Amino acid sequence: MEVKKQKPPGKKMLKRMSLYTKWLLCAIGGLILIGFGLSIFSEASNLKHTNAPFLRWFLLGSYSLIMINAGLCVFGQAIIFKVRMENKKLIKKALKQREKNARKKLTITKLDTSRSE
């Protein structure tokens, strides 16, 4: 009996999403993670200054830095999606302009044959 390799269930969903949806989700998610990480970072620094045990504020601070960096990565991916959206618009506009210019060159004009005789 052969076992077929199946794609993860979310992979098809991600392929069907528009760039706008991906950009929106990544931008919001990234900003939330950055804000959450900064909030935890302030709590860790508060614990350090109130002479809490070393391990407690150190682990909380490390966790906050992980959250901040994860948020920056997700937000960076959102920027990539936004650049793709802008490039797609520019390419579409350039192709439309090229097609419009090509139509102008291909127009056939009626020749006036009465003057040539």
Segment 41-51, tens digit of pLDDT: 999 999 999 99
Whether 115 is in a domain gets the answer no
Listed in sequence order, the DSSP H helices in 3-115 are: 9-16, 19-49, 54-105
Task: With H, G, I as helix, E, B as strand and everything else as coil, classify residue 5.
Answer: coil
Residue span of the structural domain in which 83 resides: 17-104
Does the predicted model carry a pTM greater than 0.85? Answer: no
In a domain, 117, yes or no: no
How many domains are there within the chain? 1
Average pLDDT value for the chain: 90
As a whole number, mean pLDDT of residues 89-95 equals 94
- Cβ within 8 Å of residue 69, ≥6 positions away: 37
3-state secondary structure of 53: coil
**What is the distance between the alpha carbons of residues 115 and 117, in angstroms, rounded to a whole number?**
6
Can you tell me the distance from the alpha carbon of 34 to that of 72, in angstroms, rounded to the nearest whole number? 7
